[in-house]
Chains A and B, each alone.
Chain A
Amino acid sequence: MKPVLSLKNKPLIIGSALLMAVALGTFILQLAGGHPQRAWQAYLINFLVWSAIAQGGLLFSALMHLVKARWTGRLSSLAEAFAAFFPLSFLLFLGLFIGREHIFPWLHEDLHGKEIWLNVPFLFARDFAGLLLLYGLGFGYLYHALTPKLRPGETDSGIRGFFTRRRQAPENTPERWQQRKTVFGLLYIIAFALVLSLIGFDLVMSMDPHWVSTLFGAYTFVKAFYIGLGGLIILAAVMRLTQGEASGLSSSQFHDLGKLFFAFCLVWGDFFYVQLVVIWYGNIPEESSYVIERVMRMPWQPLAWAVFTVAFIIPFVLLINKNIKTRPVFMIVLCALIIVGIWLEHLLLIGPAFAHHGAAAIPVGLSDALITLGFMSLMILALAYFMDLFPEIAMAQAPETT
């Protein structure tokens, strides 16, 4: 059986390359055509969303390992594959520097002292360090999680060789390996919470520099796990559809994963409501202006309701049913829809600031969709690269030793 998610899959590569070319073209056209803000808005939103999917995806494996869950099986390996996007995410972050003039609305504002925190050098330095730490720990975890599952071969070289080489060393007993995996897993989880909070504060909340919400950091990382699970479900469903029984993924695993996904839909909704009710009730202008602009005024109000419907109501209603969670095609569609919903949610949060509070219409259109598809192709290629590098993960092997 030839794996579908592979760089050798010509249609996939050609399709992805095409989408990426179109995305790049659209991006450059917008930059040159006098809409740099729109271009960088799409870039930022996509950077945040796709990085979150990757970060949240890996988190699933780390979390399940730490609570000693026994139901995950191959799902943990698939979750680990998302780490392949980390280097791309890091480069994309660096790319934000190029667009800084158009990304940070507060750049030329008088921030009355807040400049010591909100200034380009410090912001990039701390977020650079944060992402480096997060991704470093993520790779540390990946290394210890992945290597025991690999079958070393004589021709292993390069990245794969790095993974399989160390494993042969005698001091690396299975216990020591598990211990290190646990430590890295724990550190990754802590870094996930801290670094994603920082990213949430710096790249989303501070777009409106005088608005604060203490829960925003936690809201960001909960959102990331939500769509990370969505990404994992899509990947697992694709594996199930293309490999059938040989995928090693049972319907009870999809059921459990679906339940966890449903739970985090509720957690995300709860974290959203919790902020809303406090701000609404206190009715303090410095806080409520943010919410009023986005939820009660045009042009953003329809977008707010769309986000709520797509990312909460629809999954809530559909995921209560047991059978739906075990249907791969259905879950792919639903999870894709939810990721679109969260994409729109990012737009809702940063869009008004990007438009300097003067938007006449919701700034979303074909160009954003095309750029998004380009980023999606990056993610697909990263996963395909990982699968080619580690065929043991691309195809199920029995038994899974997590």
Chain B
Amino acid sequence: MSELTYATIDQTILQTLEKPRPGYWLIVAVLAGGILLGAACWLYQIFVGIGVGGQNNPVAWGIYLVNFVFWVGIAHSGTLISAILHLFRAGWRNPIARAAETMTVFAVLTAGLFPFVHLGRVWAVYYMLPYPNQRTLWPNFQSPLMFDVVAISTYLTVSSLFWYTGMLPDLATVRDRATGLRKKIFTLISLGWTGKHEQWRHYTRGYLFFAALATPLVISVHSVVSWDFALGVVPGWHTTIFAPYFVAGAIHSGLAMVLTLMIPLRRIFNYEKIITVAVLENVAKTIILTGMIVGFAYATEFFIAWYSFNTIEIEVFRYRMFGDYRVGFWIMVVCNTLIPLLFFSKKIRTSIGWLFGLSLLINVGMWFERFVIIITSVARDFIPHAWGLYAPTAIEFGIMIGSFCLFFFLFLLFVKHLPSVSMAEIKETLHEGAPHAG
């Protein structure tokens, strides 16, 4: 970091906003195609009915919910990095904070589609909003699903505002070096920011409050999502550990996604001196921690199921391990708890190839964790006569592919049009009093 100067930081990051190569537009086009595929599947579902998905009795919640929880989870570690680590004054977060916060906003956006997708009558979704109507009907705020509405909208709003506010100084930097249309646009969106001391004085205070508010928000949002399951009485779902367990799992998968995104990003944009291997290593170390928490949660659930001597509880867990969906279960355990232990090896956690590969595996594992939790518990609950299986259909996969494409499409657009690393924050972490030009 010591060879960096303010000028080289600006140069490195502003360079990324230059005209992209044709390959970029090709990838964007492919991703847009994926989104259209997802949209088409969804449209088909709206016209033909929710039955074209695999959900039915007894498994009424299928991979639409799995994807919902997956994407909300990914969003969480973005806020962990940008807000919580800011409160802890962990400087290593500065190079990745912007991209991580962006990941949060787009992941929440993507996640927010799924409650719409898994509704049968999407056109009635506005019923969920508390607006005065002539029948004096209101949503039931005791329902965990309403908690979701409130929590996810709050999270989307707060993250977007946090993201935008954090970008203001950088938008000004881009404005001052841009020409033509770009200069006009950035003049507008930077709100005339000039970095004078009155602006910074309020800005730093406001940013601190954003971080301080986003932190309990992160904990509460994924707790609320976990309560979609835990507040019911379904065995395997109704358990007190869900809230912290889901939050830890969310951060686990989000950090893995951070690695998945940062590693190609730093290569393509020549960010190696800014997003150093040391930064990635710290992410990997944090993944060890979250992986251990997730493992602890698995072990505790199994122990308590046995300790409770409740035959139904014991059967739920036996079914998870050895029943119809055991493949998903073992993928989950290996990828989420054992694979992260490999990061104890310095060699592995400083190797770009290993970091990238393992991050993908961890996210596969976390996807399967939600699959195992949601599907197995509902496939076999209290009444054996009502047991049944579930398999996702092509329509569901189509929408899932569409959601992944949407996320990466938005992220790709972002990295070429907005500064993907926070210039102001990197400059802040440089050594004191070092000359900044040249």
- Interface residues, chain A, with chain B CB atoms under 8 Å away: 67, 112-114, 117, 190, 193-194, 197, 201, 212-218, 266, 270-271, 274-275, 277-279, 281-282, 284
Contact = CB atoms under 8 A, between A and B. Distances in A.
B232 interface: yes
A282 B232 contact: yes
Nearest to B302: A214
B301 interface: yes
25 contacts: A114-B307, A197-B300, A212-B304, A212-B307, A214-B300, A214-B304, A215-B239, A215-B244, A218-B241, A218-B244, A218-B300, A266-B216, A270-B223, A274-B242, A274-B244, A275-B240, A278-B227, A278-B231, A278-B240, A278-B243, A281-B144, A281-B227, A282-B231, A282-B232, A284-B233
Interface residues of B, number: 26
Contacts of B241: 214-215, 218
A271 B244 contact: yes
Main SS class of interface, A: helix
Contacts of B80: none
Contacts of B244: 215, 218, 270-271, 274
B309 interface: yes
A197 B231 CA distance: 23
B240 A114 contact: no
Interface of B: 88, 90, 144, 216, 219, 223, 227, 230-233, 238-244, 292, 296, 300-301, 304, 307-309
A274 B88 CA distance: 25
Contact of A113 (B88, B231, B240, B309): B309
B300 A117 contact: no
A215 B90 CA distance: 29
A193 B296 contact: yes
Contacts of A212: 304, 307-308
B304 A281 contact: no
Contacts of A266: 216
Contacts of B233: 282, 284
Contacts of A114: 307, 309
A278 B239 contact: yes
Contacts of B144: 281
A187 B281 CA distance: 20
Contacts of A279: 240
A214 B303 CA distance: 9
Nearest to A190: B292
A294 to B, nearest CB: 15
A179 to B, nearest CB: 11
A270 B219 CA distance: 9
Contact of B231 (A217, A218, A281): A281
A213 B240 contact: yes
Contacts of B240: 213-216, 274-275, 278-279
Contacts of A214: 239-241, 300-301, 304
Nearest to A274: B243
Nearest to A193: B296
A218 B219 CA distance: 16
A317 to B, nearest CB: 16
Contact of A217 (B219, B223, B239, B300): B300
A193 B300 CA distance: 11
Contacts of B216: 266
Contact of B223 (A113, A117, A274): A274
Nearest to B286: A67
A212 B216 CA distance: 27
Contact of A284 (B88, B238, B300): B238
A113 B241 CA distance: 25
A197 B307 CA distance: 14
A201 B292 CA distance: 20
A275 B227 CA distance: 11
Nearest to B142: A281
B161 to A, nearest CB: 22
Contacts of A190: 292
Given A201-B307, A215-B244, A277-B231, 7 more contacts: A67-B88, A197-B296, A212-B304, A214-B240, A214-B300, A214-B301, A270-B244
